[in-house]
Structure 1
Amino acid sequence: MTSPQIIFPAEWAPQSAVQLTWPHENTDWCDMLDEVIPCFVNIAREVTRRQKLIIVCHDINEVKLQLGEISLDNIIFRQMETNDTWARDHGAISVLMDGKPTILDFTFNGWGMKFAANHDNQITKKLYATNVFAPEVKYENRLRFVLEGGSLESDGKGVLLTTSECLLSENRNNMSREEMEQYLKENLGLHTIHWLDHGYLAGDDTDSHVDTLARLCSESVIAYVKCDDTTDEHYSALKKMEEELLQLRQTNGQPYELIALPMADAVYCEEERIPATYANFLIINGAVLLPTYDSPKDAIAISQLQKAFPDREIIGINCLSLIKQHGSLHCVTMQYPAGFVL
């Protein structure tokens, strides 16, 4: 039997919807709901201006009240049990399989069994059963394999950017690099995998997800976190990551254009440094939503990211509340390509 032709669309490809999984009193946000809900509302406002928004939530009526004046016309609500809010990692991976839109349902095990994920791991299957997706969208069970969206950066043409610390974690699939490459190439239609072996953020629970460190912005451009402060604990690891990025080559043999994002100012919560990063942005139709942190560096990050996306509006969204639970804007969202959601 001939293997299917698989395309793993880039995030900058046209989209039909974005998914948010909404915080509630039974999540780790319980002590700061009043602080974090406005951040989710701001994300919802910007997404719904441009495309559909799927909101997975504990109580639909409660979320409608929290959304306030935002029009509900572009919002699809689905009520179900959830552990937390990190849609990037429990959400489906969207591919085209022989041209047919297909969602791949991988296991989310709480970033290597660090946190409970029994409800979140069922969200994709439940969403599919409630007819959120277009009738032609297929569901593929991949629950024997652990894979999180935040660990994957695709250029839509068979190239993947990822980190070895996450994908080769013993508490996920415990595979060798060669075994992992073979699996990803077969299941995501890849021909090239760019591995980053360096780079991390203090307070990160994900084992260095690539979406906190370096992002593909086009087939030829990578935006990445650069640390210029030699006294910062991240300086050495991020410098080594930069050197790795400089060695990468596009499919045509040319080096990537690298756009440096500033290292976010250190933010602490109960004396612990938490992972503020400008790399955790979300690309949507016509815009890029950039996490900001009430810092003068916010303006620098916006200016730098505009170079990577000259034809898109760069919109800053304050995410100081989000990083208190060790994630940021991209981490709480998952996009679906055009044609996946009606």
Structure 2
Amino acid sequence: MTDNLRFPAEWEPQSAILIAWPHAGTDWAERLGEVEETYIALVAAITRFQPVWICVADDDLETYAEARLRSNRIDMDRVRFVPFDYDDTWLRDSGPITLRQGEGFRVLDFRFTAWGGKFEAGRDDRLVESLGEQGVFGAAPRQRIDFALEGGGIETDGAGTLLTTWHCLHERHPQTSREELDAKLRGWLAQDRVLWLDHGYLEGDDTDAHIDTLARFAPDDAIVFQACDDPADSHYAALQAMATQIAGLRTADGRPYRLFPLPWAAPVLDGERRLAASYANFLIVNGAVLMPAYGDPADDLAAAVLAQAFPGREIVQVPCRPLIWQNGSLHCITMQLPQGLSG
């Protein structure tokens, strides 16, 4: 790991959570009312523990979002609005990746291509630059990196180990070998090593197997992962293979990880299309873990697993069934800012 650079784990202290408010010009238009309710619930949950910064496309949207939040008795002292005209609201992937640099920070601005050019992303690719110009990151320098990488595609333990999936990185950079990708990620993200998962996917996921839908680090050398215990389910073989590979991973000092398999929700369908209802897409905030809930009996079982993996943190369920209609969930629409970063 680079001497004065470190990629902090998500469970380390945070200044704020960054999100973008949905509106009719985004892909949420068809179900905007339902999605707004999820965003209101999310903001209510975050502001119990820390501030939330909300990107808004224009003054009218800010006025509207503020009115919706006030009517739901949100603590507006913990809400800040930031103007930016975005393509969509998946800030985990278009937002900043922050490294600690000595006593300060370095904000990494990777190229955002909307998951390999699947959608328009010209405005979203300018998000980090715009936030920096508005002083959101204080005096932290922004480093633009001409390489497609999304925040949902990487997971760190804060101590020099990165977890990712080969499928996602290979899809973005098909001409680059695993060894070359490994070296690039270690260099840019100040990591000692990269652990690659070769198995695991979710139907309805258009990110090409982002790690944050499959497996996540937890404190004290633990991995929380999405399991599947239904042999009749189409995901069974791939997620069993992923579980086997995770069980074979070792910590930096050679010990097995403590493993926390998450339960499997019943299929959620949109017509004939299966939606990606993953419990691994949780968000860690100061003092709590916010987890996606899908209105399934497995919601409470997932909460119990997360309580074991994150002792001492409150587990808060946020209704996320509307989000998976657009192939993402709770973690995908958020990005944490480490404590001390925000301006």
Q: TM-score range by the shorter chain?
A: over 0.9
Structure 2 matches for 1:81-100, cutoff 5 A? 81-100=85-104
TM-score by length of 2: 0.96
- What corresponds to 1:243 in structure 2? 244
Instruction: Give CA deviations for 1:221-241 in whole Å, capped at 9, x if unaligned.
Output: 101111110000000000000
Choose from 151, 155, 165 the match for 2:167.
165
CA contact (8 A) 1:145 1:173 kept: no
Question: Structure 1 residue 172: deviation in Å?
Answer: 4.5
- What corresponds to 1:338 in structure 2? 339
Gaps of 5+ in 2: none
- What corresponds to 1:37 in structure 2? 36
- What corresponds to 1:256 in structure 2? 257
Choose from 138, 141, 145 the match for 1:138.
141
Task: Quote the Cα distance in structure 1 between the aligned partners of 2:26 and 2:322.
Answer: 14
- The residue matched to 1:238 in structure 2 has which SS? helix
- What corresponds to 2:156 in structure 1? 154
Question: Structure 1 residue 98: deviation in Å?
Answer: 3.8
- What corresponds to 1:276 in structure 2? 277
Task: Quote the Cα distance in structure 2 between the aligned partners of 1:231 and 1:338.
Answer: 45
- What corresponds to 1:11 in structure 2? 10
Task: Quote the Cα distance in structure 1 between the aligned partners of 2:55 and 2:29.
Answer: 17
Worse overlay, 193-202 or 41-50 = 41-50
Does residue 77 (structure 1) correspond to residue 76 (structure 2)? The answer is no
Instruction: State how many pairs are aligned.
Output: 337
Does residue 180 (structure 1) correspond to residue 184 (structure 2)? The answer is no
Task: Quote the Cα distance in structure 2 between the aligned partners of 1:54 and 1:91.
Answer: 12
Question: Structure 1 residue 173: deviation in Å?
Answer: 6.7
TM-score by length of 1: 0.96
Task: Quote the Cα distance in structure 1 between the aligned partners of 2:46 and 2:169.
Answer: 30
Instruction: Give CA deviations for 1:156-181 in whole Å, capped at 9, x if unaligned.
Output: 11001110000121x44742111111
Please tell me the residue identity of whatever aligns with 1:122: R
Choose from 115, 125, 133 the match for 1:129.
133
CA contact (8 A) 1:109 1:172 kept: no
Please tell me the residue identity of whatever aligns with 1:6: L
Please tell me the residue identity of whatever aligns with 1:310: P
| Deviation beyond 4 Å, 4+ runs, structure 1 | none
- The residue matched to 1:246 in structure 2 has which SS? helix
- What corresponds to 2:22 in structure 1? 23
Instruction: Give CA deviations for 1:236-295 in whole Å, capped at 9, x if unaligned.
Output: 000000110011000121100100101221101121001001000000000000001101
Question: Structure 1 residue 184: deviation in Å?
Answer: 0.9
Structure 2 matches for 1:208-227, cutoff 5 A? 208-227=209-228
Question: Structure 1 residue 71: deviation in Å?
Answer: 2.2
Does residue 104 (structure 1) correspond to residue 108 (structure 2)? The answer is yes
- The residue matched to 1:302 in structure 2 has which SS? helix
Task: Quote the Cα distance in structure 2 between the aligned partners of 1:116 and 1:260.
Answer: 35
Question: Structure 1 residue 219: deviation in Å?
Answer: 4.1
Question: Structure 1 residue 100: deviation in Å?
Answer: 2.4
Question: Structure 1 residue 301: deviation in Å?
Answer: 0.4
- The residue matched to 1:306 in structure 2 has which SS? helix
- What corresponds to 1:265 in structure 2? 266
- What corresponds to 1:231 in structure 2? 232
Please tell me the residue identity of whatever aligns with 2:163: L
Question: Structure 1 residue 4: deviation in Å?
Answer: 6.0
Task: Quote the Cα distance in structure 1 between the aligned partners of 2:326 and 2:175.
Answer: 26
Worse overlay, 153-162 or 72-81 = 72-81
Question: Structure 1 residue 5: deviation in Å?
Answer: 2.9
Question: Structure 1 residue 123: deviation in Å?
Answer: 1.0
- What corresponds to 2:49 in structure 1? 50
Task: Quote the Cα distance in structure 1 between the aligned partners of 2:241 and 2:318.
Answer: 29
- The residue matched to 2:77 in structure 1 has which SS? coil
Worse overlay, 159-168 or 42-51 = 42-51
